[in-house]
Structure 1
Amino acid sequence: MIERSVRGEAVWIRLDRPAKMNALHLDGWRELYGELDRASEEARVAVITGTEEAFCAGDDIETLDAMESADDVSELAVELRRVLFGIEELPVPVIAAVNGLAYGGGCEIVAASDLAVAVEDATFALPETRIGAYPPYAVERMAELVGKKRSMELALTGEPIDAETALEWGLVNRVVPRSELTDAVSAFVDDVVRSPKESIRLTKRHALAGKPSTGDEDRIAGALARASLSEECRDATQTFLEGGGSEEE
């Protein structure tokens, strides 16, 4: 599900599940957290990217639909929180190399990352509410990036935005042709590693100093369980799956 490669001072973490647009189930989120934690010990920068023309479509909806208890949902919520809020606390910078569609949790990975470069045809969306769930990281953090009204537009409507809009809103730093994505990300890596490790670590640490304490595990798990296990959510999820929807959340 995840491929790992070392390029100079950076570890590239590639989500590799193209048949599902790199959507992640429980084990996938766990694996991603483990790779990020490993990268923080072994490299100066961690880069997250996808396979083929998708970055990450978020959660695997079929897996969500199979959850039967609050404990099931809580287990997933713990891993989501560890990855998304954990990216903030990682001592090394995380760069999202957005090679395509970034929906749901994939869009949240982009928002959580310290830097992001997107290809010109990348799209971004938070469609969780359409199946009765909600995007826990985005609703607590994305307003800092794009403003409250824009973050609510994404979260409440589920409608996608294109790469140029993501750039204008501040969700990504650069938009480049697909052929230039690796070079653009590598240029960021080169610029970052010119600074001492401790300076980078302190910069990331103190960037959190003024942020409110959010991402409470029990609160997120409880909210996701109430939403995901409701009859309304079950109906919406089945409608999505039966309609042959290809977009994960």
Structure 2
Amino acid sequence: MIRYDLTGEVATVTFDRPEKRNALTLEGLAEFRDALDRGAEEARAVVLRGAGDAFCAGDDIASVAGLGDEVAPATLATRLYDALFGPERVEVPVIAAVDGPAYGGGFEIVAAADLAVATADATFALPEASIGAYPPYAVARVGEACGRKRLLELALTGDPVDAGTAAEWGLLNRVVGEGDFDDAVSDLTEAVCAAPAPAVALVKRYVRAAAADPDERARLVEGFSAVADEPECLAAAERFLSGST
């Protein structure tokens, strides 16, 4: 479900499952991590896009909620960590180009990107709590950008915000009209590619110093596994899948 294209110095990673609004399966999470690593090796910048009318709707709940004995919650949590924290882990700039909804893990990937450009009709939401889960990257990082109370509003209500609000809250760099979107992404990408790669890598390394915390992954896995075993959380996921929420 991940498409990788290299054009000159820029790698484009596209969430390419438009019939499911680019929702991420367990395999898709691993593919995304691998695409980021490949981009870091081959390019000076990585641009993230979504196919169709959405950026990324987050996790494919139908494919991950009832994994049961096939895949342990710790395995899913590890895949989530590697994917959602991936943009801050690689040393090249990662730019999210958002046209359409970015929900759940899709929103977290936008937040994790170093820079983000969105069209005016893009929307952002963290609905995980309503279906018995939690947004691991958001709770760890998004408060740094938008403040604790705004993060809690996003995470506890699941209500979407528009691109203008997301920019005002520090979650986007630029909001542009549909006709200016590709040019805005290209201009920003060209600007970061023009800087010497060692200097760019050093800037990212210090700005993203928390990514080096060896205990962070373990904390996320532990917390995710605990939530996955809660009957009330499992019931919420089942209601979501049945369409009764």
Task: Please classify the TM superposition score into its range, dividing by the shorter chain length.
Answer: over 0.9
Taking the aligned partners of 1:190 and 1:205, their CA distance within structure 2 comes to 21
User: What residue number does 1:217 align with?
Assistant: 217
How far 1:230 sits from its partner (Å)? 2.1
Q: What secondary structure does 1:55 align onto?
A: coil
Q: What secondary structure does 1:219 align onto?
A: helix
Taking the aligned partners of 1:175 and 1:215, their CA distance within structure 2 comes to 35
Taking the aligned partners of 1:20 and 1:244, their CA distance within structure 2 comes to 19
How far 1:215 sits from its partner (Å)? 6.5
Matched, 1:83 2:86: no
* Cα RMSD (Å): 1.8
Matches within 5 A, 1:105-184: 105-184=105-184
Deviations 1:73-131 (A, max 9, x none): 21111111112223112110000001110000000001100000011111100100001
Letter in 2 for 1:62: A
Deviations 1:45-77 (A, max 9, x none): 001110111101111100122221595221111
Single out whichever of 173-182 and 118-127 deviates more from structure 2.
Answer: 173-182
Q: What secondary structure does 1:124 align onto?
A: strand
Taking the aligned partners of 1:210 and 1:77, their CA distance within structure 2 comes to 19
Runs of 4+, deviation exceeding 4 Å: none
Letter in 1 for 2:198: E
Q: Which has the higher contact order (CA 8 A, sep 6+)?
A: 1
Unaligned runs of 5+ in 1: none
Name the % identity. Answer: 49
Taking the aligned partners of 1:217 and 1:147, their CA distance within structure 2 comes to 23
User: What residue number does 1:192 align with?
Assistant: 192
Number of residue pairs the alignment of both structures matches: 245
Counterpart contact for 2:124–2:162, Cα < 8 Å? yes
Single out whichever of 80-89 and 157-166 deviates more from structure 2.
Answer: 80-89
Counterpart contact for 1:140–1:214, Cα < 8 Å? no
User: What residue number does 1:29 align with?
Assistant: 29
Are residues 216 and 71 of structure 1, via their aligned partners in 2, closer, same or farther at CA, if it must alter by over 3 Å? farther
Matched, 1:99 2:99: yes
Deviations 1:177-203 (A, max 9, x none): 223222111101111111111010001
TM-score with structure 1 setting the length? 0.93
TM-score with structure 2 setting the length? 0.94
Taking the aligned partners of 2:171 and 2:70, their CA distance within structure 1 comes to 32
Letter in 1 for 2:62: E
Unaligned runs of 5+ in 2: none
Letter in 1 for 2:115: L
